[in-house]
């Protein structure tokens, strides 16, 4: 089974700097693998360990993703190959453009059975890129997947976690699947895997090589800023549950929330 895992490299949320005007700066932020994507990589590696094949990682973004430390981190977590698509126009790309680039890369690689992605990116968290990749490929596409197994017939047995129910589905390959963060706990790389990572192959493609250099953007980002800071009211409510509930409603009405 050949599996592609789509990872997004983003500025570390812990390093973001928020100005007094709400502006957000990433100038001093280190770039890292998105936390929602690591469980997808772990899921792909576990499937290959159990059933054979290889795991290929795809990353698309600006020049910052071409970081040797990040590449080694990805490859030390069980991936066999890494492909990066680097272009400045992908720095603030919307989900449609990103999905088109990733789908073109999947098609160029060929002989792929499964594409995995996280439930959303660590920066924008639109939860759209993974399903749009599947749509562009014309494959079976499923999101919110919390468990994947391979059945005796070669099809995938999938558990899908929704708000008030759990679905059990069967999906024929090829398929594109977006997994939840709790599907697996990402592994910590051993020293042996870290040393092996330096010998694994990495490749870089341009948008022109994928035939998507002139792909238009479908959204315009006008502004990205933090919400205004609001001082806490520090209202302590005491009394029985019924009394506290009535007092809370009264405060909320005064604040115009209700």
At 42 the pLDDT is 97
Spatial distance between the Cα atoms of 3 and 47, rounded to a whole number of angstroms: 9
Structure-token match 């970081």, residue found: 67
Radius of gyration for the alpha carbons in the chain, expressed in angstroms and rounded: 21
Average pLDDT in the chain: 91
Residue 219 has pLDDT above 80, yes or no: no
Tens digits of per-residue pLDDT, 73-118?
999 999 999 999 999 999 888 889 999 999 999 999 999 999 999 9
Which residues 6+ apart lie within 8 Å of 140 measured at CB? 134, 171, 172, 174, 175, 176
- Would you call 9 helix, strand, or coil by DSSP? strand
Residue 216 has pLDDT above 80, yes or no: no
Confidence band of 227 (pLDDT split at 50, 70, 90): confident
At 67 the pLDDT is 92
The rounded Cα 151 to chain-centroid distance in angstroms is 26
Strand partners of residue 157: 149, 170
What letter does residue 239 receive in the DSSP assignment?
S
Tens digits of per-residue pLDDT, 168-185?
999 999 999 999 999 999
- pTM reported for the whole predicted model: 0.84
Structure-token match 């890129």, residue found: 129
Confidence band of 25 (pLDDT split at 50, 70, 90): confident
Q: Quick one: average pLDDT of 205-216?
A: 90
Q: Which two tokens stand for residue 10?
A: 């983003």
Q: CA 228, 229, 231, 232: dihedral to nearest 10 degrees?
A: 100
């Amino acid at each position: 089974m050949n599996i592609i895992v789509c990872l997004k490299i983003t500025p570390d949320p812990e390093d973001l700097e928020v100005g007094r005007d709400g502006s957000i700066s990433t100038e001093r932020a280190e770039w890292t693998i998105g936390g929602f994507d690591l469980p997808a990589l772990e899921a792909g590696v576990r499937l290959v360990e159990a059933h054979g094949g290889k795991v290929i990682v795809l990353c698309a973004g600006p020049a910052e993703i071409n970081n040797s430390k990040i590449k080694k981190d990805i490859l030390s977590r069980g991936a066999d190959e890494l492909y990066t698509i680097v272009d400045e126009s992908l720095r603030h790309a919307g989900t449609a453009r990103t999905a088109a680039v990733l789908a073109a890369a999947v098609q160029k690689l060929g002989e792929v059975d499964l594409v995995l992605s996280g439930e959303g990116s660590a920066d924008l968290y639109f939860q759209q890129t993974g399903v749009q990749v599947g749509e562009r490929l014309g494959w079976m596409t499923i999101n919110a997947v919390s468990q994947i197994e391979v059945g005796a017939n070669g099809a995938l047995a999938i558990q899908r976690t929704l708000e008030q129910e759990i679905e059990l589905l069967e999906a024929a390959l090829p398929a594109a699947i977006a997994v939840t963060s709790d599907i697996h706990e990402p592994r910590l790389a051993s020293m042996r895997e870290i040393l092996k990572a330096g010998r694994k192959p990495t490749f870089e493609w341009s948008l022109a090589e994928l035939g998507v250099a002139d792909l238009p953007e479908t959204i315009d980002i006008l502004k990205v800023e933090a919400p205004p800071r609001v001082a806490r009211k520090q209202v302590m409510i005491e009394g029985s549950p019924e009394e506290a509930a009535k007092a809370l409603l009264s405060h909320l009405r005064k604040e115009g929330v209700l």
